[in-house]
Structure 1
Amino acid sequence: MSAIALLGTSADPPTCGHQALLEQLLTHFTHVVTWASDNPGKQHALPLAQRSALLQALVQSVGDPRLTLVQELSSPWAITTLERAEALWPGQVLCFVIGSDLMDQVLRWKEADAVLARCRLIIVPREGWPLNHTAIAMLRRHGAQLDVLSLHIPGTASSSVRRDTDPSQIPAVLRPLLMQNKFYGFDTDSGSAAL
């Protein structure tokens, strides 16, 4: 059996943190799969198709065949994503990757116990979101098989990019796309972010 790392993200927009996470997951897994999704708890600045295109550009820039974007996995519900992943990769261990900022939410997900039964949960600490050991214990009581994967991920967040239009938090490959399309307040005329 081989394990596949599954990383869904709003990618609104993809940041240097997303890039670092994808690249570092490749040092632990032989296959990393990502996709853009609509989070039912968020309002998104761009439509899903545009966020997926940005994430695809980031995946291509990483240039590793072990990293793929499989947009068909996208669903607002983790259980649906896992059912689709099981159909695509029967018999393989599915490792569902989340940031430490989501730990407290997992048990409120749709069919949370079924989600935990279908995958191994991989928690990556995020800057500003320390590990909640009470939440880890609670997840384990609900049957979660989980690992904490300590990676070095820069403290970037899509929400701060949208709020501050900070180009330093955007991977270089995506900046021209954001400026050309004037996404998130990036301005192509000045060659920098609009203030």
Structure 2
Amino acid sequence: MSPAATGLEDQGPVALFGTSADPPSCGHRSLLAGLAATYPLVATWASDNPFKAHGAPLDVRARLLGTVVAALNRPGLRVEQGLSSPRAIETLERAGALWPGRELVFVVGSDLVPQIPRWYRAADLLGRCRLAVVPRQGWPVAPADLQPLRDLGGRVELLPLSIPATASSAIRQRARREQVPAELWPELIQHNLYGLSTPP
């Protein structure tokens, strides 16, 4: 039985997962389901990445992410759009105010591991949370990659989740049915998002 199914959402660690959700992919859906089976409470949100050009406005991406979360229908999995910030430390500060006294687990894909030591106030960030790394295909994690995080005081763990090799960038270039959660197609087509006007 998953932690979320035991009525323990009000205790234990809180997993935090921000994503550009541009658009949410089947990989995002699988990851959220895996997190919901691992942690009693999972908070997710759509974010603006200052280093990326986005295919849809933030409010649209947040709505699409909410559609995926609603379709998963997992206790303890929720969208907390108020956590969204270009700076991860600000997200953690907001999460700490929402859930005082709870352990915070910041979830990232393995592709981000080399960047984290260069993030704004990286040492403060790593001191306030546990870092959970999700392996992404094409981005293997070696022990040497994690050492700089541990040198900054990070408590790092690898999550044993198997995530489909789908990427939002690939969907924006050429969407295929197996890449996009079925619950998103009506909205994507209705609003002609990402250049989609008919099902693939």
Same fold per superposition (TM over 0.5): yes
User: Residue 21 of structure 1 is aligned with which of 31, 48, 51?
Assistant: 31
**In 2: Cα distance, 1:17 partner to 1:147 partner:** 20
Report the secondary structure of 2:183's partner residue.
Answer: coil
**Structure-2 separation of matches of 1:27 and 1:168:** 23
Q: Partner residue of 1:68?
A: 78
Aligned length: 190
Q: Kindly state the Cα deviation for residue 192 of structure 1 after the two structures are TM-superposed.
A: 2.2
What are the ranges of 5 or more consecutive residues in structure 2 without an aligned counterpart?
1-10
Give the TM-score taking structure 1 as reference length: 0.95
RMSD: 1.0
In structure 2, give the amino acid aligned to 1:29. Y
Percent identity, aligned pairs only, is 49
1:149-160 alignment, distance < 5 Å: 149-160=159-170
Q: Report how far residue 137 of structure 1 moved.
A: 1.1
Match of 2:65 in 1: 55
Output the amino acid matched with 1:105: Q
**Shift, 1:28, TM fit:** 1.1
Within 2, Cα distance between the matches of 1:77 and 1:23?
Answer: 25
Q: With structure 2 as the length reference, what TM-score do the two structures score?
A: 0.92
Question: What is the aligned counterpart of 2:46 among 15, 21, 36?
Answer: 36
Determine the structure 1 residue equivalent to 2:90: 80
Q: CA deviation at 1:165?
A: 2.2
* SS at 1:44 equivalent: coil
User: What SS is found at the alignment partner of 1:174?
Assistant: helix
Report the more deviating stretch, 129-138 or 35-44.
129-138
